[in-house]
Amino acid sequence: MGHNAVEVEHVSKMYRLFKEKNNSLKATIMRGRRVVAEDFWALKDVSFEVPKGETFGLIGENGSGKSTMLKCLTRILKPESGRIEVNGKVSALLELGAGFHPELTGRENVFLNGAILGLSQKELRKRFAAIVEFAGIGKFIEEPVKNYSSGMYVRLGFSVAINVDPEVLLVDEVLAVGDEAFQRKCLEMFADLRSQGRTIILVSHSMSAVQNICDRVAWFEHGEIREIGETRDVIERYTGSVQVDREVDEEGHTRWGSGQGRISKVELLDGAGQPVDRLACGAPHTIRFHYEMSEPIAQPVFCCYVATLAGHAVTGPNTKAYGAVPDKLDGKGYVDIHMEQVSLLPGTYDLSAVLCDYTLFKEYDHRQNCLRFDVERGSIPEDWGVATLTPYWEVVPER
């Protein structure tokens, strides 16, 4: 396989969907041996490669084939045709608490699940404290797992899976469960595994998680791969495709929304209020959203999202968080985001502008990556990273 950790060639997987069930002896006799069923192809001629050390994401809507593909990689499912090769020790977390026995305690399940994944009892005893500490289970480790919350279940399962030192880690939606602290620990662990050269294949509906973790992604649609490519580009096309009111604006950027209100223009202004095409780090600037309402909108919220060219989120302020939501807006106007000093460090960034309702769920207009701008060196003498903390340094020698 050379430099590849995973190779998938022309893989297809079929399920038989039974339309009727013989729920009684009479129905069985009347229908005889006839079974009414149809073939459903969950995967159709899927091919891709994952190089060693890469974090690869599988995205797509429910039923698109992502989880089926992951189960084929772990040999839980056998495809009807095609070839799958996985090079290295595999660990998988595919379903909530997969492999756990509900009547056994957390401790007993750690040793049971760990043994299934290939660890000896000696290795498990050595790693037990680290597994429990990462899972954050505490005293509940001695309780039957049937009494665990869904978050405790998945935290313990994930902790066991990553502690078997996998060369290839397969994960299905683990970041969808658990509190923010656990999700942060997962992201840190993924970063550690990546730095060690481990291969990760992740299925997730969280585009922000995929964006921050994955090097490349495969977009699944109706059992086929629609596109494989750089994470940011594929996610942008995928998220745009699932929006009902999606369109491409006059500048070629993707936008969507119900249309009662629109952000007609986005501008950068310098400290004197003059339009500019770049910002200076440390200098005062303003971002201006021009809006047009086709009808009165109560309590509209404006959001600004800034990301790196790789798609990593930098900041996302909105008028609701800062207590600047008007009771109602109609007609035309503009909204300003004033910055006493730009905290972004030199680089190139993309800005997305959103107009939504007070719940933040209904979007009237979402202009994805509608403005690309540069930040140049200014009064702040930093050049590493994407933002400054505007520190004040003080050195105090001991006397």
| Tens of pLDDT, residues 329-341 | 999 999 999 999 9
* pLDDT value, residue 251: 65
What DSSP string runs through 69-134?
Answer: HHHHHTTSS--SEEEEEE-S-EEEE-STTTT--TTSBHHHHHHHHHHHTT--HHHHHHHHHHHHHH
Q: For 84-115, what is each residue's pLDDT tens digit?
A: 999 988 888 776 556 688 899 999 999 988 88
Strands 216-221 and 55-59: parallel
CA terminus-to-terminus distance, the chain: 63
Please determine, for residue 249, whether its predicted confidence score (pLDDT) is greater than 70: no
* pLDDT value, residue 216: 95
Q: In sequence order, what are the beta bridge partners of 113?
A: none
How confident is residue 194, by pLDDT bands cut at 50, 70 and 90? confident
* pLDDT value, residue 23: 58
Q: How many CB atoms lie within 10 A of CB 369?
A: 19
Residue 160 CA to residue 124 CA, distance in Å, equals 9
* pLDDT value, residue 20: 63
Instruction: State phi, psi for 25 to the nearest 5 degrees.
Output: -65, -40
* pLDDT value, residue 165: 81
How confident is residue 355, by pLDDT bands cut at 50, 70 and 90? very high
> What is the distance, to the nearest Å, from the Cα of residue 353 to the centroid of all Cα atoms in its chain?
20
* Burial status of residue 43 (CB atoms within 10 A of its CB: 0-12, 13-18, 19 or more): buried
Mean pLDDT of the chain: 86
* pLDDT value, residue 135: 85
Contact 213/200 with Cβ under 8 angstroms?
yes
Instruction: State phi, psi for 187 to the nearest 5 degrees.
Output: -60, -40
Residue 320 CA to residue 287 CA, distance in Å, equals 17
* pLDDT value, residue 70: 92
How confident is residue 188, by pLDDT bands cut at 50, 70 and 90? confident
The domains found in the chain, sorted by start residue, are 4-241 (3.40.50.300), 249-376 (2.70.50.60)
| Across 4-18, average pLDDT | 91
Residues with Cβ < 8 Å from 268, sequence gap 6 or more? 275, 276, 277, 278, 279, 285, 286, 287, 288, 371, 373
Give percent of the chain with pLDDT exceeding 90. 49
Residue whose pair of structure tokens reads 């009165």 in the numeric block: 296
